[in-house]
Amino acid sequence: MADSNAKPGQPKPGLLLDIRNLRIEATVYPPGEAPKTITLVHDVSLTLEKGKVLGLIGESGAGKSTIGLSSMGYGRGGVRITGGEVILNGRDIMKGGKEGFRKLRGREVCYVAQSAAAAFNPAHRLMDQVVEATLLHGTATRAEAEKRAVALFKKLSLPNPETIGQRFPHQVSGGQLQRVMTAMALCSEPDLIVFDEPTTALDVTTQIDVLAAIKDAIRDTHVAALYITHDLAVVAQVSDEIMVLRHGRLVEWGGTRQIIKEPRQEYTNALVSVHEIEHQEQNPGATPFLSVKNVTAAYGGGHVKVLKNVSVDIYPGQTLAVVGESGSGKSTLARAITGLLPPEQGTVTFDGRPLANRLADRPKEDLRQLQMIYQMADVAMNPRQTVGTIIGRPLEFYFGMRGRERDKRVAELLDEIEMGKGFVDRYPAELSGGQKQRVCIARSLAAKPKLIICDEVTSALDPLVANGILKLLLDLQQHEKVAYLFITHDLATVKSIADSIAVMYRGEVVRYGSKSKVLTPPFDAYTDLLLSSVPEMEIGWLEKAISGRRMASAGN
């Protein structure tokens, strides 16, 4: 460990932040039980020198954000710092009281949130929000602060740096907002910035630009940073050191190279090698069972064309992955196939016959053959039904199963998703994110469909949990011979699961074929951008990727 023998009360020169034996607790109110206190962070200590970047990494619930916010004395939603010291610039901020916190927030420490789109106030112009902290703490006049802000907009390569401040948050794209938020944090010239998953909500092609902008800004302003993320490949690009956390405890802390090349703990190793699922591509069969032919679809009564002349085929028991950034029409393709959005032109044929365009016109048998799993498992289930009812419903609806016969089949399905009978009487709220997604998988399998459409099913999950879901889907495909239409923006996932790939861009399929063919050069410009934007766990990848690009990403 880097700094285990620091003596209390004797700050080292050059040390900016020194957190010692931090303990953070929260009171939870489980329904029907007495409130209880749980410990979120157990005795975590860390130090950060001026101008250095420390990456905090772990799955959700690891306490990364909680630790990051503790450097500002902030507890989100009733979270309390109950033990330890937080020494910033040589003084324990926990002793300063509310007034002390307010003086340091926005002046010594600034915060960049995961979703800038939500973190900006929709009622105020960007410039007013960017200079707010500077003016509040009186470190500059309004004119100086605005000049500084414009310079920062330029540095972060925002378009129209002179005038972008006059815009409202909703008039600026997500990637640009994230950079404006970084400018906002830098504007009051703090000593430390807490970056809390600043690129997680962005498309890969946008993420790379924001990442590069943040890295340059950190280098040029000599600000120190805590960089919080669950993506080791991202944090490897910007950090000097990395700290791995799990369940609120320290797992491993070391230099970036050591963590990603020679992890010492088993858990770190699991995080480092998370994306490596070997999946042998299957050759397409003779005839596809589902064909999408020249489908064009639009929203708003034909005004907004979101699918243009799309054709893809799906073969029995195989996986077609559809990749693209947000707004490329991936989910709309799924809606057109399922009949939720009737196509304006083109046809969807299933087993050699055309499917009715509208969902309402399809017979029950057609509905059974096409099932869906969604990104947000928790909102895709009725919170007032038990797991048994949720999985049993398609058995009753499609096969008329009742009583013991249905319960037996529910138990089998629970076995298939590796969850066991004990879960039959549980409610969705009692399950973890991964378990919820498994229940959704079981529900779709219960209909014995030929095709399951998986819409970003692993995007909301932690990498290790997502990996488990992918492995389960591959196993189930082996046993049940079910085909998947796998919609995702994550190319690593695609490599693990696909037999064929369709790359979508602005409503069109720009590249389509077997996995090996699509992923083999020469690439078209967009596929090249998409592939080269996926962060790799390698120091210096970011600079290489930026310099090697042929096309600028959207949102610029």
Partner 1 sequence: MRQLVFLRIALGIALLLAVSVLIFAGTQILPGDVAQAILGKSATPETVASLREQLGLNAPAYVRYFRWLGGALTGNFGTAMSSGQDIATQIKARLWNTLFLAACAAIAAVPLAVILGLIAVRYRNGWVDKLISGLALASTSFPEFFIGYALVYFFCVKWPILPSISTVYDGMPFGERLEAIVLPATALTLVVLAHMMRMTRAAILNVMQSAYIETAELKGLSAFNVIRKHAFPNAIAPIINVVMLNLAYLIVGVVVVEVIFVYPGMGQYLVDNVSKRDVPVVQAVGLVFAAVYITLNIVADVTAIIANPRVRHPK
Closer residue to partner 1 (CB): 104 or 469: 104
Q: Shortest CA distance to 373 belongs to which of 439, 320, 319?
A: 439
Closer residue to partner 1 (CB): 75 or 284: 75
**Residue of 26, 40, 79, 104 that binds partner 1 (CB under 8 A):** 104
Closer residue to partner 1 (CB): 101 or 427: 101
Q: Shortest CA distance to 20 belongs to which of 50, 41, 39, 37?
A: 41
CB of 111 to partner 1, least distance (A): 4
Angle at 170 between CA 507 and CA 505, to 5 degrees: 15
Alpha-carbon span 112 to 218, nearest angstrom: 13
Alpha-carbon span 303 to 170, nearest angstrom: 22
Alpha-carbon span 460 to 230, nearest angstrom: 12
Q: Shortest CA distance to 93 belongs to which of 20, 40, 39, 43?
A: 20
CB of 113 to partner 1, least distance (A): 6
CB of 101 to partner 1, least distance (A): 8
- The DSSP symbol for 444 reads H
CB of 331 to partner 1, least distance (A): 22
CB of 185 to partner 1, least distance (A): 9
- The DSSP symbol for 105 reads B
Alpha-carbon span 103 to 493, nearest angstrom: 45
- Binding part of the chain for partner 1, among 131-139, 235-243, 289-297, 375-383 by CB under 8 A, reads 131-139
Half-sphere exposure of residue 161, counting CA atoms within 13 Å on the CB side?
A: 15
CB of 167 to partner 1, least distance (A): 8
Q: Does 170 bind partner 1 (CB under 8 A)?
A: yes
Closer residue to partner 1 (CB): 146 or 416: 146
Closer residue to partner 1 (CB): 68 or 434: 68
CB of 176 to partner 1, least distance (A): 13
Size of the site for partner 1 (CB under 8 A): 30
Strands 345-350 and 353-354: antiparallel
Closer residue to partner 1 (CB): 133 or 498: 133
Q: Does 132 bind partner 1 (CB under 8 A)?
A: yes
Closer residue to partner 1 (CB): 59 or 196: 196
Alpha-carbon span 251 to 425, nearest angstrom: 35
CB of 213 to partner 1, least distance (A): 19
Alpha-carbon span 329 to 503, nearest angstrom: 10
CA-to-CA dists, residue 491 to 10, 270, 519, 531, 532, angstroms: 48, 19, 10, 7, 10
State both tokens at 70.
């503790």
Q: Does 179 bind partner 1 (CB under 8 A)?
A: no
State both tokens at 250.
């320290």
In the chain, DSSP finds a helix count (H) and a strand count (E) of 21, 20
State both tokens at 17.
């932040």
Closer residue to partner 1 (CB): 172 or 232: 172
One character per residue 136-155, x = contact with partner 1 (rule: CB under 8 A) = xx------------------
One character per residue 255-294, x = contact with partner 1 (rule: CB under 8 A) = ----------------------------------------
Closer residue to partner 1 (CB): 133 or 377: 133
CB of 76 to partner 1, least distance (A): 7
Alpha-carbon span 101 to 71, nearest angstrom: 10
Closer residue to partner 1 (CB): 94 or 334: 94
Alpha-carbon span 147 to 165, nearest angstrom: 11
Closer residue to partner 1 (CB): 38 or 136: 136
CB of 348 to partner 1, least distance (A): 34
Q: Residues 84 to 103: which contact partner 1 by CB under 8 A?
A: 101-103
State both tokens at 350.
């299933």
Compute and round to an integer the Cα radius of gyration of the chain.
26
Q: Residues 187 to 216: which contact partner 1 by CB under 8 A?
A: none
State both tokens at 60.
């959700």
Q: Residues 107 to 126: which contact partner 1 by CB under 8 A?
A: 107, 110-111, 113, 115, 118-124
CB of 121 to partner 1, least distance (A): 4
CA-to-CA dists, residue 249 to 195, 228, 243, 263, 484, angstroms: 20, 15, 10, 17, 38
Binding site for partner 1 (CB under 8 A): 72, 74, 76, 101-107, 110-111, 113, 115, 118-124, 129, 132-133, 136-137, 167-168, 170-171
